Chains A and B, each alone.
Chain A
């Protein structure tokens, strides 16, 4: 089941800097919604606020009916929100497989005692987790790298691993912070395919931050444009592309493919 994400009047300031100023948006269940904007526009900040890393100074975040403003990050994760990070936050010394297993943490239900005594509950849960991890690594094409330390993976692989780790939490809402940054055109196309499949086959709601217009325009149903912490525009890719304010925000030139 997917939930809609509702953001109302959301704002935060860091000292004198208003990083996000009364931004509202609504993400339809089962859709792909992009957030774009120039550097420093507040995109990552928006994501940090939704996932509970920062506490907002104003406004409200809700998942469907439930308000989640101010909950700690792990509780928000428990409500089915997963994310990736702009500068990957992998567990660098753990293997790719272990990274995914940490993503499964919440779904493994056994205590320290069961682990110490190697009780059947522990064995069953770990076997099942190992299978799921295997499947997720295969899904993102990292089956061969399962035992490689995350820190030793190439950048593109790290991004895919972070995606697998996020999926391991079984999210309803998945938020991706610049997943296509630094990818080659062919890799970006592949990513588009993966995102579509996540939406269509798993019914996920996706929020996608990116600068790579080929990806954003290609997959998203709606786009929210931020600039200097404010919402500049919102609409379908076509509407946004034609919006003069958006064009002006991107230094007077139309956003082009990276």
Chain B
């Protein structure tokens, strides 16, 4: 039973981890928490559907299109909304990102209708049994792709110019600017990058649950995972994602499926209260 929970929990956890990474990647560099990231995730999944159903693209091409457009959308948000708002109080930022999320969601509802759309699985959704565990190829594909994307992210941050500029801004924005890195440029990249991470999560997620304009609520869980991880650590976000996925699946089994989401939101509030700096974060006090 426990092993089965782990296996199922890891699938959800992989998706949460990606969303959490999206939050943290962005926040570490820009200090912005993007409350609309969940809705961007929905948008990306819809673009795949649009590409396939309306444009007749092959699945792979539709995914590529979605990733590209998602990155572009992220950069657009940075240019069009965040740059003009630089230096505004936190409350204004929060409301702005909420508005972006609402616009995306309502735009999808108005243009695509409120009803769910089918999204193809990456691999067969037919379960098979292995050593007493029920495994689903589609779920394994989700975990596999998520892990690959995470590895690619770390490799990029480490070994590419693009990534090293981001890390430099993470460590010390002033210093980065002094050595000639364009901080606004990096911010734009971070928006693009975080949007792509959300897009991958959305595309992986959509077939497993139903794709409707309200799928973005899942963003709250990515957020919770990021908080569990301390909100400023990339490995922390991943650990938080998997942890949340597993705990939530356990709650679904041992409490009730109806209560599964409630348990995980309640857990989130409790966690925010008891561990405001996450499992991996450190405290900071304000000086006066």
- In the bound assembly, the distance between CA atoms of A89 and B286 in angstroms comes to 13
Specify which chain B residues have a CB less than 8 angstroms from the CB of A102 in the assembled complex: none
Encode A19-49 as 1/0 by CB contact (under 8 A) with B. Answer: 0000000000000000000000000100010
Q: Are B285 and A89 in contact (CB under 8 A)?
A: no
Q: Which residues 129-181 of B have a CB within 8 angstroms of A?
A: none
Q: Please, which residues of chain A bring their CB within 8 A of the CB of B285?
A: 14, 54
Give chain B's interface residue range (CB within 8 Å of chain A): under 10
How far, in Å, is A91 (CB) from chain B's closest CB? 14
A53 part of interface (Cβ distance < 8 Å): yes
State how many angstroms separate the Cβ of A90 from the closest Cβ of chain B: 12
A53 to B287, CA, bound (A): 10
Contacts of A89 in B (CB 8 A): 288
**Cα distance, A53 to B285, chains bound together (Å):** 10
In Å, the complex CA distance between A87 and B282 comes to 26
Main DSSP-derived SS at the A contact region: loop
A148 close to B (CB within 8 Å): no
The dominant DSSP class at the B interface is loop
* A85: interface (CB < 8 Å): yes
Closest to B283 in A: A15
Q: Given the complex, which residues of A lie within 8 Å of B288, measured CB to CB?
A: 44, 48, 53, 85-87, 89
Contacts of A15 in B (CB 8 A): 282
B76 to chain A, nearest CB (A): 33
Residues 126-140 of A, flagged 1 when their CB comes within 8 A of B and 0 if not, give: 000000000000000
> Chain A residues near B282 (CB, 8 Å)?
15
A34 to B282, CA, bound (A): 35
Q: A44 vs B282: C-alpha distance in the bound complex, in angstroms?
A: 23
8 Å CB interface, B271-288 against A: 282, 285, 288
Q: Which B-chain residue is minimally distant from A87 (CB atoms)?
A: B288
Cβ of A54: which chain B residues have Cβ within 8 Å of it? 285
Shortest Cβ gap from B230 to chain A (Å): 16
CB within 8 Å of B: which of A74-118? Answer: 85-87, 89
Complexed CA–CA distance, A41 and B288 (Å): 15
Instruction: Find chain B residues with CB under 8 A from A85 CB.
Output: 288
Bound: A48/B282 CA distance, A: 21
Give the distance to chain A from B282, nearest Cβ to Cβ, in Å. 8
Q: Closest Cβ of chain B: how far from A85's Cβ, in Å?
A: 6
CB contact list, B231-288 vs A, under 8 A: 282, 285, 288
The complex places the Cα of A89 from the Cα of B288 at a distance, in Å, of 8
In the bound assembly, the distance between CA atoms of A48 and B288 in angstroms comes to 8
Smallest CB–CB gap between B283 and chain A, Å?
Answer: 9
Q: How far is the CA of A176 from the CA of B217 in the complex (A)?
A: 50
Kindly provide the distance from the CB of A44 to the nearest chain B CB, expressed in whole angstroms. 7
How far does the Cβ of B228 sit from chain A's closest Cβ, in whole Å?
Answer: 22
Instruction: State the CA gap A86–B282 with chains docked (Å).
Output: 26
Return the chain A residue nearest B288 by Cβ.
A85
Contact flags A45-67 to B (C-beta < 8 A → 1, else 0): 00010000110000000000000
Q: Which A residue's beta carbon lies closest to that of B282?
A: A15
**Min distance, Cβ B92 to any Cβ of chain A, angstroms:** 14
With both beta carbons as reference points, the residue of chain A lying nearest to B286 in the complex is identified as A53
Give the residues in chain B near A86, CB-CB below 8 Å: 288
Residues of B within 8 A of A87 (CB): 288
**C-alpha spacing A48/B285, complex, angstroms:** 12
Q: Say how far B162's CB is from chain A's closest CB, in angstroms.
A: 33
A218 and B288 CA atoms in complex are apart in Å by 27
Q: How far, in whole Å, are A89 and B287 apart by their CA atoms in the complex?
A: 12
**Nearest residue in A to B287 (C-beta to C-beta)?**
A44
Q: How far does the alpha carbon of A5 sit from the alpha carbon of B288 in the complex, in Å?
A: 22
Which residue of chain B has the shortest Cβ distance to A44 in the bound complex? Answer: B288
Q: Mark A173-189, 1 if CB is under 8 A from B, else 0.
A: 00000000000000000
| Distance to closest chain B CB from A128 (angstroms) | 31
Distance of A71 Cα from B35 Cα, bound (Å): 36
Q: How far is the CA of A14 from the CA of B285 in the complex (A)?
A: 9
Q: How far is the CA of A54 from the CA of B285 in the complex (A)?
A: 9
Measured in the bound complex, the distance between the Cα atoms of B287 and A86 in whole Å is 11
- Report the separation of the CA atoms of residues A85 and B285 in the bound assembly, to the nearest whole angstrom: 17
Q: Closest CB-CB distance, B213 to chain A, in whole Å? A: 39
In chain B, positions 29-59 with a C-beta closer than 8 Å to chain A are none
> 10 A-B contacts, Cβ less than 8 Å apart?
A14-B285, A15-B282, A44-B288, A48-B288, A53-B288, A54-B285, A85-B288, A86-B288, A87-B288, A89-B288
Q: Assuming A86-B288, A87-B288, what are 6 further A-B pairs, CB within 8 angstroms?
A: A14-B285, A15-B282, A48-B288, A53-B288, A54-B285, A89-B288
9 closest Cβ pairs, A-B complex: A85-B288, A89-B288, A53-B288, A48-B288, A14-B285, A87-B288, A54-B285, A44-B288, A86-B288
